[in-house]
Chains A and B, each alone.
Chain A
Amino acid sequence: MYNDKNAQTIVDYIQNFTRKNSLFMLAYGTGCGAIELPATLTSRYDAERLGVRGAATPRQADLLLITGYLSTKTLKRVIRVYEQMQDPKYVIGFGSCTINGGMYWDSYNTIKLLDKYIPVDVYINGCMPRPESVISGFQELKRLIAAGKADGAKKYKENLEWYRENQKKVLKNWPLVEYNW
Chain B
Amino acid sequence: MGTTYSKEEILAQQLQTAFEHLITEVVRKDTVFAFATKEQVSSILLYAKEKLGYISFVHLSCVDWLESGEFELVYIIWSPETKINLFVKTRLDRENPSMENTDMIWRQINTYQREIREMFGVEFPGFVGEKEFILEDWEDAPPMRRDFDTLEYVNDTFFEREGREDKQDVRERIAKRSGEEIPDFAKKYSRE
Contacts and interface: CB of A to CB of B under 8 A. Distances in A.
A112 B153 CA distance: 13
Interface size range on A against B: 20 to 34
Nearest to B149: A108
Interface residues of B, number: 18
B17 interface: no
B154 interface: yes
Nearest to A73: B136
Interface in B55-112: none
B121 interface: no
A172 B158 contact: no
A74 B102 CA distance: 32
A104 to B, nearest CB: 9
A100 B161 contact: yes
30 contacts: A72-B136, A72-B137, A73-B134, A73-B135, A76-B136, A100-B160, A100-B164, A101-B158, A105-B154, A107-B150, A108-B148, A108-B150, A108-B157, A109-B143, A111-B158, A112-B154, A112-B158, A112-B159, A112-B160, A112-B161, A113-B159, A113-B160, A116-B159, A166-B159, A170-B157, A172-B137, A172-B139, A173-B136, A174-B136, A174-B137
B191 to A, nearest CB: 13
Contacts of A106: 150-151, 154
A101 B157 CA distance: 13
A111 B154 CA distance: 9
Interface of A: 72-73, 76, 99-101, 105-109, 111-113, 116, 166, 169-174
A149 B140 CA distance: 41
A77 B144 CA distance: 25
Contacts of B136: 72-73, 76, 173-174
Interface of B: 134-137, 139-140, 143, 148, 150-151, 153-154, 157-161, 164
Contact of A171 (B134, B137, B148, B159): B137
A166 B159 CA distance: 9
B137 A108 contact: no
Contacts of B164: 100
Contacts of A170: 157-158
A170 B159 CA distance: 11
Contact of B161 (A113, A172, A173): A113
A113 B140 CA distance: 21
B141 to A, nearest CB: 10
B153 to A, nearest CB: 5
A76 B135 CA distance: 13
A73 B134 CA distance: 8
Contacts of A108: 140, 143, 148, 150, 153-154, 157
